[in-house]
Amino acid sequence: MSKTLKHAALEPVDLIIVGGGMVGLTAACALKDSGLHVVVVERSEPVVRKSLDRDCRVSAIVLGNVRILQGLGVWDHITDVEPMRSMKIWDDQRSGGIRFDASELGSGERSEEALGYLVENSKLQAELLKVFHQHDSLELCCPVSIESVTWKSEHVEVTLDDGQGFSAPLIIGADGAHSWLREQAEVGCYSHDYGQKGIVATVRPQMNHHGVAFQRFLPTGPLAMLPMSDGLCSIVWSAKNEEADRLMALDGIAFLEDLNLTFGPVLGRIEAVGERAAFPLVARLARHMVRHRMALIGDAAHTIHPLAGLGVNLGLRDAMVLAQEIADAKRFKEDFGELDVLNRYMKQRLPDVLSLLASMEGFHRLFTHNWPGLPELRGLGMRLIGNSGPIKQLLMQNSTGLNLPVPKQIS
């Protein structure tokens, strides 16, 4: 039907963002006071998968990014979230464990209350949309699909299947792991399929979690139990494809049996589980994060194993750094679609992305292989880190994003 629509003249705007997920909306909100006319194109209405009355897609937003979202006015309305006060990691070989406490973060007399907060994706997205809709310079086209994108030397042209069309000096791909825009630009990506799926669900344990996140490493993949409000927990259970399919096929009671056996009695019995969803786990890195008049952010640029719960956290940082470069270029009357400007974004983000991709890969191998001597080495490593204040603090600063500069607010 849409193919027969006649397109009106293309409306010139300043920026087109493909994808109105958490990352695309953050980029738009970061530019709310920049004076730029930003159009976000989103193909679907939000679908919330409820599990024990919660969206079963949940993200641990680390402290550094909470500060960014506070700066955007998004975090103020996110209530009913549980502070993740500490994280306990152990494996099934009883070779030791390690605990990270928010109280060990910070310096001098100032310690932090939380390493981060568990937020339902739909809740974060809804708050981003509220801020988005307060600004006339930000426009949302939803639900609508893009029919075509054409790169010209001075601008990009986009036509939508509702007859609208836009031209802009820059297009941003925030359209997720299977990015349509990345494909249109023939960028391609490096990928590593873990042969695993991540099962997510909300569960109710018998005992209070006291804000502790638990991560148990098993030879088949990690099982995380993350603290939510009202005593609930969000699980991310990574398992080999066949095992994940078996677990997904079980009814609720049988699934709980397996979950209790696997997680153990740390929180007493896990008594209830809501709806489950499973996602294939693949690490990806776009061959180019930028091209002439195009930049990729969030999952469109990279995906990582969810074992550290940092995927969207990387994406939020991409969004802020790119928005900052765009706003600065505009201030200095530079063409922000030019590769020179976009390379500044890429150079700032690539080291962070590469180091996380590499460390997730290393962690995954370290904990899923049981070569002779490896469990002992793992145990020794965990004990050494646990007893070494400075190394532990550095690791925590890195993973919470507190060692990275907070992007300035853009005006």
- Using the rule CB under 6 A, which residue among 169, 227, 309, 337 binds ligand FAD? 309
3-state helix/strand/coil string of the chain: CHHHCCCCCCEECCEEEECCCHHHHHHHHHCCCCCCCEEEECCCCCCCCEECCEECCEEEEEHHHHHHHHHCCCHHHCCCCEEECEEEEEECCCCCEEEEEHHHCCCCCCCCCCCEEEEEHHHHHHHHHHHHHCCCCEEEECCCCEEEEEECCCCEEEEECCCCEEEECCEEECCCCCCHHHHHCCCCEEEEEEEEEEEEEEEEECCCCCCEEEEEEECCEEEEEEECHHHCEEEEEEEEHHHHHHHHHCCHHHHHHHHHHHHCCECECEEEECCCEEEEEEEEEECCCEECCEEECHHHCEECCHHHCCHHHHHHHHHHHHHHHHHHHHHCCCCCCCHHHHHHHHHHHHHHHHHHHHHHHHHHHHHHCCCCCHHHHHHHHHHHHHHCHHHHHHHHHHHCCCCCCCCCCCC
19 touching ligand FAD, by CB under 6 A: yes
Name which of 116 and 375 has its Cβ closer to ligand FAD.
Answer: 116
Name which of 95 and 125 has its Cβ closer to ligand FAD.
Answer: 125
200 touching ligand FAD, by CB under 6 A: yes
CB of 239 to ligand FAD, least distance (A): 11
359 touching ligand FAD, by CB under 6 A: no
Name which of 83 and 298 has its Cβ closer to ligand FAD.
Answer: 298
- Using the rule CB under 6 A, which residue among 83, 96, 211, 306 binds ligand FAD? 306
Name which of 151 and 180 has its Cβ closer to ligand FAD.
Answer: 180
325 touching ligand FAD, by CB under 6 A: no
Over the window 231 to 260, marking each residue x when it contacts ligand FAD by CB under 6 A and - when it does not, the resulting string is -----x------------------------
78 touching ligand FAD, by CB under 6 A: no
51 touching ligand FAD, by CB under 6 A: no
Q: Which 114-173 positions form the footprint of ligand FAD (CB under 6 A)?
A: 145-146
Binding site for ligand FAD (CB under 6 A): 18-24, 41-44, 59-60, 145-146, 174-176, 180, 198, 200, 236, 279, 298-299, 306, 309-313, 315
